[in-house]
Structure 1
Amino acid sequence: MASAAAEKGLATAAALCAVIYSVQKFVGAPIASAMGIRYGKKLLKAYRENPAQFKKQETGNGASAKVSFADKHKEWYSANVMMALVAAGSWVAHILGDLTPINYSIWALLLGVVCAASGLVPTKPLQKSNSYGLMMVAVFGSIIPSLAKVSLSDLGTMAFQTIVLFAAALIGVALVGWVLPTWKLVGDKDLAVGIGVEQFLGFPSNVVICREVGDAVGETPEEKAFIEDTLNVPYVVGGITVITVLSTMLAGFVINML
C-alpha cells in the first residue's frame, strides 16, 4: 500500500501506511495479551475440573496425515533453495500483476496457496530457511522511503489520523467481539476480542503471546502447554485468515482504485 500510494504521488497516504504498519503491534499486543490471560484462566479452570476430557480430545485424532512431496524430500530443500522458491514466486506474481488487472499481491497469495496445497513447496519456507527476519527488514526498508517526502507540518495531521484509525478499529473489534452476538462464533467474548486485536500483530508475535499467556497462567508444564496449544489455534489461524488472506485481497483491490 505504501509503495502504491507513493507511486500515485500520495506522499502523506504512503507515510501514513508506514506509520500504521510500524506502530500497530504496540496497539494490539497489550490487549491481545490481556484477553488471552482472561481466556486462559477460564481454560485452566475447565482443565483442572476435568483434565481427562481434554486429554481425550488431544489423543483422539488417530488418522495419519498424508506426507507431502516436500516432506518426503526434505534433503532437497536447503535454506537457499527455499529462499529461491519464494523469490521465484514473487517474480511470477509481479509478472502476472503486470499482465492482468489483478494486483501482484493477490497473485502471490494464490501462488502460495497452490504451492502449499500441492506439497511441492515446504510450509513456512521463510521461517524454515531462517530468512523471515531478513524479509521483515526488507519490508521496513521498502516503506521507510515513504517518509522522506513528509514535512514537519504533516506530522500533526498524521498523528491525528493514526489515532482515529486505531480508535475506529478498536471500536469495531469491541463491537463485533463483545457487544454483538457474533462473539458466539468462537464461544467466548474475551477470545473474540483477543482474536480481533491480534490482527494488529501477525506471525510470529501471535505465537509469542500464546506462549507468554501459557507461562503466565499455567503452573505446571502440562497446564502451560495446554493453554498455549489451545490459544494458538484461534490466534494463529485468525491471523492467517485475516492478515494473510483478507488484508492482501483488500489491499490489492484498494491499490487498483487509487
Structure 2
Amino acid sequence: MNPVIAFTVIMMIWTISDFISKKTNTMLSSLFIASLIFLIGFKTNLFPEDLLTSSSLLTLGTTIVGFIIVHIGTSISLQEFKAQWKTFVIGVSAVVGIAAFLFVFGPLFETTNHVIAAIAAISGGTISIVMVQEKAIVLGLVAVAVMPVLISAFQGVIGFPLTSMILRKEAKNIQVQYRNGQLKSNEKSAIEEKTSGKLPEVFQTTAGTLFIVGVVVVVSMKLSEFTGGIINTFIIALLFGIALRATGIFKKNVLGGIDAFGLMMLGVLIIIFGPLATISVNDLIELIVPLLLSFVIGVGGAIIFSVIAGKILGYSLLMSIAIGLTSLYGFPGTMILSQEAANAVGETEEEKKIIENEILPKMIIAGFSTVTITSVFLTSILVGFMI
C-alpha cells in the first residue's frame, strides 16, 4: 500500500476513535474503538494486510518503545510514593493477585503462553502488551499476540463503570466523615514539581532531548546484554527514568512538550494492532473463552488480594477495591474517575475538595503501582517463560 495513504488512513482511524471516546466520556476507550475498526477492516479486506507496515509507524513504534519507558519513569515521584506507600503496597498486591489467580486456574487455558498474555494485559498497559507481543510474534504465536490486544480493548468498558460506582460510594462515606467532623480541610494534594531539570539548554530542544533519552536507552540495552537478558531493557530504562527525575537531571515527563512526543505515542500504540492483520476468524472465535476467563479470574484475583492488603493496612473496603481495579486502565482514568466522584457527591466546593484530596492521590499512585511499575516488572520476567 502507498505509505502516504496508509499513514493517512491510520490517522483517520485514530481521529474517529478519539472523537467517539470523548463523546462517550471515555466509557468507550479510543483503544477499544480503534481495535474494532482495525479488526473489521482487516477481516472484511477493507484494509490491506500491509496497512500498518506500509505506514512506517510500526517501525517507529518498535524503535522508540524504550524512549517512552524512560519518559514513564520520569513521571514517577519518589516523594509521592513515600506519602502513599500503603496505596503502593495495595496496588502491587492487586497485580500479584492477578498473576496468582491466573496461574492457579491456568489449566483452564489452552497454554501457559495464554496465561502470561492474560496477566500482562489485565495488569498493565501498552508496554506490557508490547513485551508479550514481541515474544509471541518471534515464536509464531499470532493468537497469543492478539489476545492481550482484545483484553486491553475491553478493559475500560469493564473497569470504568465499576470503579465509578465504587468511588462514588466511597465519596459518600468521606462526605459523612467530613460532616461528622472526622476529616479536616487539607489543601495539600499530590506534589507537583515544576522544574526544567538540570540538562544544559542545548539538550532541552526536541533533538537534544531525544538524543539524551536515546543514550539512556542504549545504555539500558547494553546493561541488559551484560546480564544475559535476565534483566529486561525496559526495566533498566524505567529505573533510569525514575532515578534521573529523582536527582533532578531530567524534568518530570521528560518527553512532554517536545514536538515529536504525540507521534511517538501513536507509533507505540499502533504496535499492538499489528497482529490483528493476520489472525484468522477461527482463532478469534477460539479466543472468546480465554478472554472471559481472563477477566473473571484476573479481576477476581486483583480484588481479593487488594482487599486483603487494604484490610491489613487500614484502608476501607471500597477504596481497596478501587485501587485494585486501576490495573484495568491506569492514568488518566484514575484522575478522571476521582474528579467525577468528587463532583458528583460533593454539595459544596469545600466538600468536593475534601473528597478529591482523599481519593485522587491514592488513585494516581495506585495506577502507577499497578500499570506503570509492577506490571512492567512482572511481564518482563514472565515473557522469558514463553515457549
Distance 1:137 1:209 in 2: 24
Aligned length: 251
Q: Deviations over 1:177-201 (max 9, x none)?
A: 44x4743425200001100111111
**Structure 2: tracts of 5 or more residues without a match:** 1-131
Alignment match, 2:168: 37
1:106 aligns with 2:204: no
* 1:155-234 equivalences in 2 (<5 Å): 155-178=284-307, 180=308, 182-234=310-362
Secondary structure of 1:171 counterpart: helix
2:237 partner amino acid:
A
Alignment match, 1:248: 376
Alignment match, 1:22: 153
- Please report how far the alpha carbon of residue 248 of structure 1 lies from its aligned counterpart in structure 2 after TM superposition: 0.8
Q: Deviations over 1:90-149 (max 9, x none)?
A: 444344434431211111111112112111101123445587654442222111112222
Percent identity of paired positions between Structure 1 and Structure 2: 24
Distance 1:31 1:244 in 2: 21
Distance 2:259 2:356 in 1: 23
Distance 1:90 1:110 in 2: 11
Secondary structure of 1:54 counterpart: coil
Distance 1:139 1:65 in 2: 27
Distance 2:309 2:383 in 1: 33
Alignment match, 1:54: 184
Alignment match, 2:141: 10
From the superposition, tell whether residues 159 and 66 of structure 1 become closer, same or farther in structure 2 (CA, over 3 Å): closer
- Please report how far the alpha carbon of residue 172 of structure 1 lies from its aligned counterpart in structure 2 after TM superposition: 1.3
CA contact (8 A) 1:186 1:192 kept: no
- Please report how far the alpha carbon of residue 242 of structure 1 lies from its aligned counterpart in structure 2 after TM superposition: 1.9
**Structure 1: tracts of 5 or more residues without a match:** none
RMSD: 3.1
Distance 2:371 2:318 in 1: 20
CA contact (8 A) 1:25 1:201 kept: yes
Instruction: Report the TM-score when normalising by structure 1.
Output: 0.83
Distance 1:249 1:114 in 2: 16
Distance 2:354 2:212 in 1: 35
Instruction: Report the TM-score when normalising by structure 2.
Output: 0.57
Alignment match, 2:220: 93
2:356 partner amino acid:
E
The structure with the largest helix share of the pair is 1
- Please report how far the alpha carbon of residue 224 of structure 1 lies from its aligned counterpart in structure 2 after TM superposition: 1.6
Distance 1:241 1:29 in 2: 18
1:148 partner amino acid:
A
